């Protein structure tokens, strides 16, 4: 089955700097890669996703890149703000049956 690794586990950046979180997956059959943001005590919410036929996708300050050959995808947040502080999870679909999540990255944006 699919396995997803995520790095780093914690990340601290100064407000206004960029943050990058990287994930690798094991199964080349995976086609859909979402990113979720979870604030303390709340539910995870989708912030951006990418499909296997696309190399990059942007939404304002957030972007995701996918390298299918190397089997890794990354989340890029530019011009970070304090409200970006949260735990971020990457995921990969598992033959369309369910999703495998990475262990999460705790991002702290320091004022």
Partner 1 sequence: DGGITQSPKYLFRKEGQNVTLSCEQNLNHDAMYWYRQDPGQGLRLIYYSQIVNDFQKGDIAEGYSVSREKKESFPLTVTSAQKNPTAFYLCASSTRYNEQFFGPGTRLTVL
> Comparing C-alpha atoms, which of 41, 71, 74 is closest to residue 56?
74
- Binding string, residues 62-91; x marks residues near partner 1 by CB under 8 A: ---------------------------x--
Size of the residue set binding partner 1 (CB under 8 A): 19
Residue 42 as a binder of partner 1 (CB under 8 A): the answer is: yes
- If the CB atoms of residues 8 and 16 are measured against partner 1, the closer one turns out to be 8
Q: 91 forms bridges with which residues in the sheet?
A: 101
Distance CA 101, CA 107 (A): 17
8 binds partner 1 (CB under 8 A): no
Alpha-carbon distance of 34 to 90, in angstroms, equals 6
H/E stretch holding 11 reads: strand 10-14
Closest CB to partner 1 among 32 and 81? 32
Interaction site with partner 1 (CB under 8 A): 31-32, 34, 42-46, 49, 89, 93, 96-99, 101-104
């Amino acid at each position: 089955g699919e396995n997803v690794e995520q790095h780093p586990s914690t990340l601290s950046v100064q407000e206004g700097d960029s943050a990058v979180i990287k994930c690798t997956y094991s199964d080349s059959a995976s086609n859909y890669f979402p990113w979720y943001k979870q604030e303390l005590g709340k539910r995870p919410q989708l912030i951006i996703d990418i499909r296997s036929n696309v190399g990059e996708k942007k939404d304002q300050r957030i972007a995701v890149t996918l390298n299918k050959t190397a089997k890794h995808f990354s989340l890029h947040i530019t011009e970070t703000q304090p409200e970006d502080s949260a735990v971020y999870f990457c995921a990969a679909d598992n033959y369309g049956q369910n999703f495998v999540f990475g262990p999460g990255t705790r991002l702290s944006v320091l004022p």
